[in-house]
Amino acid sequence: MADKDAGQNLPRSTHIGYAIGSVSTGVFSTVPGLLLLSFMVRQLEIPAAIAGIVLLIPRLWDVITDPFCGSLSDRTFTRWGARRPWMLAGSFTLPVAFVFLFTVPDLSASALIWYILFIYILCTTTFTIYQVPYIAMPAEMTENYHERTTIMSWRIAFMTLGILVGGAAAPELVSAGGGGTEGYALMGLVVGAVLFIFMFGSFIGTKNVPLVKPVVSSTPFREQFKAAIDNKPFFVLLAAYFIQVLGVGVMLAGVDFFSTNILGDPGQTSILFVCLIGPALITMPLWARVGKRVGKLNGYKICICLFAIGGLLLMFSNPESLWQVYLFVFIMGAGYAGTQLFPFAMLPDTISADTIKTGLRRPGAFTGVWMAGDKGGFAVGPAIFAAVLAITGYIETEGGILIDQPELALVGVRFGFTLLPAILMVVSLLILRKYHLDEETKAMLGIEE
């Protein structure tokens, strides 16, 4: 169990010291999803179907490594605590791997595919080493329900900043470097440096967090995974969130293609990304108030509906009227803000429900399963978009050269970027109908919804 300090309010310096790590998680969760598919298809001339597989395999690997890393961190005990040693290891390995991901050597076509696949697996593994213990930490930093909400609000705010800056700046860095493979190499170097600064900064910033004893248990790893699945509120929330992340992953993968092939201007990529992520900085306080008034679950549902409506309107918008495109993407972005805030605010509730039921403290195991779903969704999403491109006959190019695409391929780009994410959001909304915490758990957590 946590020591007695864990139930007290934490100083603002600890809030910020922890939350700055989310700048890096936001950047890494965004940049490969936004640019890696386009890099492979439009710069390296890798067929879309193969590129989709290259994106998918490393994230499927996360399904194994995320829960394992979470379980392992539950059992770690050092003078730095259970989570921080893993955060330190990830801080020194992920940035280096990321640089190599976009700095490609002169290889044959087949060797290049294997190179990207290996380096991307290395990236996702080192990211797991950092992220899973990092996300598990708030469940141990305090026993105070409202203090956990404060910690999460800071984390989401910094994550949104990372997503916004990474998504907007990365394409501009590519352009500043000449727009070809040299531009991507420059982007990889700069983003790698940013990842290190904020990851290592969070290790330093969490030096004063309360320490907890590791879980003393001989439960096999597979049983801990089963425990996470058997926690019905957790499983339902994860299932809904996974489908939702699929939609976001599909949309992110399509931004560059939509800008280039539908709007006719690759420079629109950064603008559309800002329109999608920027509203989060404006609407996050609003959604926090909405959640307090109507409950986190209802607030979550409202945001999903808003995202879906924006996607439907965008599908039938006129690409020549950019104000329409910006407006509808902005609407989707306003909904997206809440779809990030509410599930992560509800996640500690489901972990606490397990603690109340079993008496065990195992946030790492639950967080590991959660992050496997999170990263899996962001990987499968681009793979789905790549499949849409392949099915509709999209023609891959070398060096980002603009060519006339078949009409069906243009329909595929528009559908994948707009309507498909909206449909997936609706599916996640239907799943959420099964989510509920039992009355005993809500009473003990002080939840009124």
Whether the Cβ atoms of residue 67 and residue 224 lie closer than 8 Å to each other: yes
Locate tokens 């992220």: which residue? 131
Instruction: Flag whether pLDDT at 227 surpasses 80.
Output: no
pLDDT band of residue 283 (cuts 50, 70, 90) is confident
Residue at 305 is within a domain: yes
Within 10 A of 25 (CB to CB), how many other CB atoms are there? 25
398 - beta bridge partners?
A: 44
* pLDDT confidence of residue 426: 95
The CATH number covering residue 366 comes to 1.20.1250.20
Residue at 1 is within a domain: no
pLDDT single digits (tens) 377-388: 877 888 888 889
Residue at 26 is within a domain: yes
pLDDT single digits (tens) 296-317: 889 999 999 999 999 999 998 8
pLDDT band of residue 1 (cuts 50, 70, 90) is very low
* pLDDT confidence of residue 443: 57
pLDDT single digits (tens) 79-93: 777 788 899 999 999
What residues make up the domain containing 289? 14-202+221-445
Q: Which of 218-227, 250-259, 263-272, 327-336 has the lowest mean pLDDT?
A: 218-227
Residue at 212 is within a domain: no
* pLDDT confidence of residue 252: 81
Instruction: Flag whether pLDDT at 134 surpasses 50.
Output: yes
Give the relative orientation of helices 232-257 and 221-230 as an angle to the nearest 10 degrees. 90
pLDDT band of residue 425 (cuts 50, 70, 90) is very high
2 - beta bridge partners?
A: 212
Residue at 134 is within a domain: yes
Residue at 43 is within a domain: yes
Domain count of the chain? 1
Residue at 8 is within a domain: no
pLDDT single digits (tens) 21-78: 999 998 998 888 778 888 888 888 888 889 888 988 887 788 778 877 777 777 777 7
Residue at 216 is within a domain: no
> Which of 340, 368, 351, 339 lies closest to 134 in space, CA to CA?
368
pLDDT single digits (tens) 175-220: 888 878 889 999 999 999 999 999 999 999 888 776 655 554 544 5
Rg (alpha carbons) of the chain, rounded to whole number: 21
pLDDT single digits (tens) 315-351: 988 888 889 999 999 999 999 888 888 888 788 788 7
Average pLDDT over the chain, rounded to an integer = 82
Cβ-based neighbours of 39, under 8 Å, separated by 6 or more? 102, 184
